[in-house]
Amino acid sequence: MRQDGLYWGPMTQPRVVPVPCLSDNYAYLVHLPGSTDTLVVDPSEPGPVEAALAQHGLTLVGILATHHHMDHVGGNEALAASREGLPIVASKYDENRVPGVTKLVNDGDTFDIAGLHVRCITVPGHTLGAVSFVIGDAVFTGDTLFIGGCGRLFEGTPAQMYDSLCVRLAALPGDTRVYCGHEYTASNARFAAVVEPGNDAITKLAERAKAAGQNKEPTVPSTIAAELAHNPFMRVREPSYKARYGSDDPATVLGKVRAEKDNFRG
């Protein structure tokens, strides 16, 4: 990218290193290949992030918070304590509930950090301050879009989640890499198979999740195109969903799919 912010030629895409945290969370180191400056997305705890920084020889220059839940921001202050002035970015909505936040962003805001160009998309639904960060061909979706699923509606409405998933995130290029906040793929694929039996993309997702689990490997990243093919929450406009849930309104259908998933034990 040029200093004036205009792109030219093929862009160097960021390298993304998943950092497993807590029981099933992911933090992510994001940096340009060849640069040691790195961002971390959603550091729920400092230990695994510090270990990954040391392992990869990277220098932390900023934190991005997708939302205020402690299993996404619990490591902010410990990581910032030994790095004076470390920027911590979160939604303006979460001004008073993301620890250590230094930079507040609104929908559509862009900024440059660690040699990377970051674009913010507000995605209310799981929480009202949820934001996704687009960096090159990657998007960090926190607990809004999971592989094969979405987050619970703790604060937002089905209509908000529909807009976030099926309008805003769905508009990203199909080959955009999707990095989400939790490893829930196996369970999500089992639920998806109940909602939409006979969908080959869901069968493939279940097989992929099973193989990853056996090899103790993450299922991230997915892509936007793959999510549109196998994620029930992004498929609520399909005729079979209208029939199963008895509504022509996709936001209403999404709410019903979400309620069914909330009670799913599989």
- 69 touching Zn ion, by CB under 5 A: yes
Task: Compute how many residues bind Zn ion; rule: CB under 5 A.
Answer: 2
Alpha carbons within 13 A on the beta-carbon side of 164: 32
- CB closer to Zn ion, 25 vs 223: 25
Active site residue 71: yes
- Minimal CA–CA distance to 133: which of 172, 99, 98? 172
Active site residue 67: yes
Q: Per-residue string for binding with Zn ion, 85-124, x by CB under 5 A?
A: ----------------------------------------
Selecting among 42, 69, 94, 163, the annotated active-site residue is 69
Selecting among 31, 42, 68, 71, the annotated active-site residue is 71
Q: Name the token pair of 245.
A: 């849930």
d(CA 169, CA 66): 14
Selecting among 31, 68, 72, 230, the annotated active-site residue is 72
| Piece in contact with Zn ion (CB under 5 A), picked from 1-9, 36-44, 107-115, 137-145 | 137-145
d(CA 26, CA 20): 5
Active site residue 248: no
Residue 13: DSSP 8-state: P
Burial (Cβ within 10 Å: 0-12, 13-18, ≥19) of residue 167 = exposed
Q: Name the token pair of 93.
A: 């909505």
Active site residue 126: yes
d(CA 128, CA 197): 32
Active site residue 182: yes
Residue 20 burial (CB count, 10 A)? 14
- CB closer to Zn ion, 141 vs 223: 141
- 143 touching Zn ion, by CB under 5 A: yes
Selecting among 42, 94, 143, 163, the annotated active-site residue is 143
Pairing outcome for strands 131-135 and 138-142: antiparallel
Q: Least distance in Å: CB of 68 to Zn ion?
A: 8
- Minimal CA–CA distance to 164: which of 239, 107, 230? 107
| Piece in contact with Zn ion (CB under 5 A), picked from 47-55, 143-151, 160-168, 258-266 | 143-151
Q: Least distance in Å: CB of 156 to Zn ion?
A: 12
C-alpha dist (Å) from residue 251 to 99, 159, 234, 245: 32, 5, 11, 11
Q: Least distance in Å: CB of 114 to Zn ion?
A: 24
- CB closer to Zn ion, 130 vs 229: 130
- CB closer to Zn ion, 69 vs 168: 69
- CB closer to Zn ion, 87 vs 129: 129
Q: Name the token pair of 235.
A: 């498929």
Cis omega before residue 33 (within 30°)?
A: no
Q: Least distance in Å: CB of 126 to Zn ion?
A: 6
Catalytic residues: 67, 69, 71-72, 126, 143, 182
Residues interacting with Zn ion, by CB under 5 A?
69, 143
